[in-house]
Chains A and B, each alone.
Chain A
Amino acid sequence: MSPRKEIAANIVLILFSATFLIYTTRYPLDNWESPGPAVFPLVLGAVLLLLAAWQMIRAFMAPRAPDRGGEEIAKVDSVRAFLHDNRGEAKVLILTSLMVLYILMMQWIGFFVSTFLVVILSSRLMEAKGWVRPIVLSVGVCIFCYFLFVVWIKLSFPQGILF
């Protein structure tokens, strides 16, 4: 991991542990004879803060990569390399949004209908060709899950306006 990434990760950790520590003060500390609910989280938050600070110091002290000449060209190259390396990330973002929609839709149109849709769409997102196979897959998955989880194990799932 590059020092810049390392520093960014540790800033997030430090902010998180600081917020956590501040929030912990809302709970009573009590005394040594009977430590209150704030004691343990306080210790954890403090240790996390120390660890993140330690990592941050080490990242600052790490030797930097020497500057290369022709910075402009390097910049264009690095942008291109970044886009090339992170093509997959766009898909991850789309899939995350799809999952968010999926969970929201569960309550509106029902669990199995939204599951049917999400299997088709995620399969297409992962470069399945055509519509027939994803639809067959989705029907199969829904029927299997229905019989296994609803009929046999008797779990109940959110039912919306459709099913």
Chain B
Amino acid sequence: MSDQGILSNLLITLQPDNVIACFAGAMIGTLIGVLPGLGPAAAMALVIPLTLKLGPTAGLIMLAGIYYGSMYGGSTTSILVNVPGEPASVVTTLDGYAMAKKGRAGAALAISAIGSFIAGTVSVIALQFFAPLLARTALAFGPAEYFALTVLGVVLLSNMTGKSRTRSLVMMMAGLILSTVGMDPIGGLERFSFGIETAQGGISFIAITTGLFGIAEVFAVMAAREKRAEILPVKFRELYPNRKELRRSVAPIARGSVLGFLIGLLPGPAATMASFASYGMERSISRHPGEFGNGAIEGVAGPEAANNAASGGAMIPLLSLGLPFTPATAVLLGGMLLHGITPGPFLLRDRPDVFWGVIGSFYLGNAMLLILNLPLVGFFAKLVRVPSRYLMPIILVLCAIGTYGDNGALFDVWVMLGAGVIGYVMRKYGYQPAPLVVGLVLGPVMERSFRQTLIISGGRVESLWESPICMAMWGVAFLAILLPMVIPPIKAGMKRRLRNRA
């Protein structure tokens, strides 16, 4: 496609309907990011019936708006209350909150918004170069490559979520097992539905997501004793970072944007990884590493830029291969399928309006967040104090309505409640829900590609790893399994030897 074509498709975002959808999404997202009790994935799942009313482009722009709005809201609470709204903004608490304690909350918030905006811009520009290239590469993907990629995704994802790799893998397997409920994707045989009619079409993804990220969270809030959050004040005139702070932020934002985008291309929880990687990089190359943890502006600027660029980059595996690697992008995929859009190598060719409309909305959404949220930041920060005794009942009801509204089946509401209870218990035992949700979405792709590969090759198992692309992906997957097992003993051995020598 010519650059002009891309530009005109990007301008689709500026149509009034889409601007309103983007605004609504960004607002809802910010609220979700700030308020406890409902993660971005559950919020997006609940809004899906609403987006069906809006049509594919506006609907998906709204879903994407919630995705990045929540990221922004998460940073706000990280800086002002020391409570990260979602994993990607955990790093921001380190220096953001320290800056707020020094009376520079406004500057930290502004730098985080400016950094996100610049990173968003960088990722949109980079997407223009990468997306067509990747879509072309994706055309070379047959079933064997898809299978290898999903396996790679499973391995990388379990390496990076939670504390224990085995537990993440267990959750991933549980998600994949749940995905086998319903029609078998090749022969159409009914499996594990136990005669329940609604289960014949498979376990509802929305029910599981709202249960694990909505209901379970309500239970957790309820079981914990309510603490009154202490919010550090922000004055409007403090919102502008001073010249020195701006100068110190330029390079971290630039580095964070590039690093974040590249990490976003990998399968895995890109935004979280990118923010941690950027923080580590900034600290190691900083001229004043001692300031990190005590309010270094670089520690806010770099990670905030990186996580935003990464969520832009993560759109590439989603849109060009149809494979999501985070719960939020998994919901976005679910939303697309409900709108009759199949993400994959052909999306860019067949529906450039949707592809670039969603990408363009990232850009517009970031600008909106920058213009709207800075003056409103005090208001959003106050929302953290909304008592849970009023908030949680609303979340419970919204979860029930959203889940029921998806299929009009009460069975799904039961599934949601079950997922909520199990999700709550799981978290108590140290099992994170994110890999389960991703497993549930990847399952059918994995099974279909596995069986298709064997059918096409006439039962030759080698065909699963013969092609160069497959070999590379299997290689990375094996390294990702082996290295964490091999490196610690080697390191320990080297240390022992050094100590013996001394």
Residues of A within 8 A of B (CB): 1, 5, 9, 13, 20, 23, 27-28, 31-37, 39-41, 44-45, 47-48, 51-52, 54-55, 88-89, 91-92, 95-96, 99-100, 102-103, 106-107, 111, 115, 118-119, 122-123, 125-128, 133-134, 137-138, 141, 145, 148-149, 152-153, 155-158
Which residues of B have CB within 8 Å of A88? 222-225
Q: Which of A13, A32, A39, A125 has the most CB of B within 10 A?
A: A32
**Distance (Å) between the CB of A65 and the closest chain B CB?**
18
Question: Does B176 lie within 8 Å of A106, measured CB to CB?
Answer: no
Chain B residue nearest in CB terms to A40: B447
Please indicate the chain A residues that have their CB under 8 angstroms from the CB of B401 in the complex.
145, 149, 155, 157
Contact (Cβ within 8 A) B408 A41: no
Contacts of B430 on A, CB cut-off 8 Å?
A: 1
- Chain A nearest CB from B466 CB (Å) reads 15
In Å, the complex CA distance between A102 and B397 comes to 10
Q: Which residues in chain B, 440-494, are within 8 Å of chain A measured between CB atoms?
A: 446-447, 450-451, 454-455, 458-461
CB neighbours of A111 from chain B (8 A): 404
In whole angstroms, what is the CA distance A84 to B158 when docked?
34
Which residues of B lie under 8 Å from residue A37 when comparing CB positions? 184, 186-187, 189, 191
What is B's interface to A at a CB cutoff of 8 Å?
A: 49-50, 52-53, 166-167, 169-170, 173-174, 176-177, 180, 184, 186-187, 189, 191-192, 215, 218-219, 222-226, 388-390, 392-394, 396-398, 400-401, 404-405, 408, 410, 413-414, 417, 420-421, 424, 429-430, 446-447, 450-451, 454-455, 458-461
What are 25 A-B pairs with beta-carbon distances under 8 A?
Answer: A13-B170, A27-B184, A31-B459, A32-B461, A33-B455, A34-B459, A37-B184, A40-B446, A47-B173, A48-B177, A88-B224, A92-B222, A111-B404, A115-B397, A118-B396, A119-B396, A123-B393, A127-B389, A141-B393, A152-B53, A153-B49, A153-B50, A153-B52, A153-B405, A157-B404
Minimal beta-carbon separation of B418 from chain A (angstroms): 10
A155 touches B405 (CB 8 A): yes
Residues of chain A within 8 A (CB-CB) of B219 are 92, 95-96
**How far is A162 from B461 in the complex, measured between Cα atoms in Å?**
61
A25 to B398, CA, bound (A): 40
Contact B173 A44 (CB under 8 A): yes
Chain B residues with CB below 8 A from A100, complex form: 417
A89 to B191, CA, bound (A): 35
What secondary structure prevails in chain B residues at the interface with A? helix
Chain B residues near A27 (CB-CB < 8 A): 184, 189, 191
**Nearest-neighbor residue (CB-CB) of A137 within chain B:** B390
**In contact, A9 and B429 (Cβ under 8 angstroms):** yes
With A37-B189, A95-B219 known to touch, is A126 a contact of B177 (CB < 8 Å)?
no
Which of B177, B224, B454 meets A20, CB within 8 Å?
B177
Measured between beta carbons, the chain A residues less than 8 angstroms from B176 are 44
A48 to B215, CA, bound (A): 26
Smallest beta-carbon distance A149→chain B, Å: 6
**Other 8 A-B pairs with CB < 8 A, given A103-B417, A122-B392, A155-B49:** A1-B429, A32-B460, A34-B455, A36-B187, A95-B222, A96-B219, A107-B410, A141-B394
Contact (A32, B170) CB under 8 Å given A115-B397, A122-B396: no
Complex: how many Å from CA A30 to CA B78?
Answer: 54
Residues of B within 8 A of A54 (CB): 166
In contact, A119 and B222 (Cβ under 8 angstroms): no
* Contact across chains for B53 and A99 when beta carbons are under 8 A apart: no
Main secondary structure of the interface of A (DSSP, over half): helix
Given contacts A118-B396, A126-B392, A155-B405, contact A48 B170 (CB under 8 A): yes
* Complexed CA–CA distance, A92 and B217 (Å): 11
Are A40's CB and B451's CB within 8 A? yes
Nearest residue (CB) in B for A41 is B180
A92 and B454 contacting across the interface, CB-CB below 8 Å: no
Task: Give the distance to chain A from B204, nearest Cβ to Cβ, in Å.
Answer: 14
**What are the residues of chain A within 8 A of B389 when measuring CB–CB?**
123, 126-128
CB distance from A124 to the nearest CB of B (A): 8
* Cβ distance A95 to chain B, nearest Cβ, rounded Å: 6
Docked CA distance A99–B211 (Å): 12
Are A35 and B454 within 8 A (Cβ)? yes
Contact A48 B417 (CB under 8 A): no
Complex Cα distance, B451 from A28, in Å, reads: 14
Considering residues B180, B184, B186, B454, which has the most beta carbons from chain A within 10 angstroms of its beta carbon? B180
CA gap between A150 and B309 in the complex, in Å: 38
Give the complex CA separation of A42 and B141 in angstroms.
26
Name the distance in Å between A29's Cβ and chain B's nearest Cβ: 12
- Asked if residues B400 and A102 are in contact (CB atoms below 8 Å), the reply is yes
| A96 and B219 alpha carbons, distance in the complex (Å) | 9
**Closest CB-CB distance, B391 to chain A, in whole Å?**
9
Query: How far apart sit A20 and B424, CA to CA, in the bound complex (Å)?
Result: 22
Contact of A128 with B390 in the complex, beta carbons under 8 Å: yes
Contact B53 A45 (CB under 8 A): no
B residues near A107, Cβ cutoff 8 Å: 410
Bound: A18/B430 CA distance, A: 22
Taking CB as reference atom, which chain A residue is nearest B53?
A153
**Which residues does chain B contribute within 8 Å of A95, judged by CB atoms?**
218-219, 222
Which residues of chain A come closer than 8 Å to B392, judged between CB atoms? 122-123, 126
* Nearest-Cβ distance from residue B212 to partner chain A, whole angstroms: 15
In the complex, which of the residues A23, A96, A106, A133 contacts B390, with contact meaning CB atoms closer than 8 Å?
A: A133
Minimum CB distance partner of B178 in chain A: A44
Cβ-defined contact, A137 with B424, below 8 A = no
> How many Å lie between the Cα of A9 and that of B177 in the bound state?
18
Task: Flag if A103 contacts B413 (CB, 8 Å).
Answer: yes
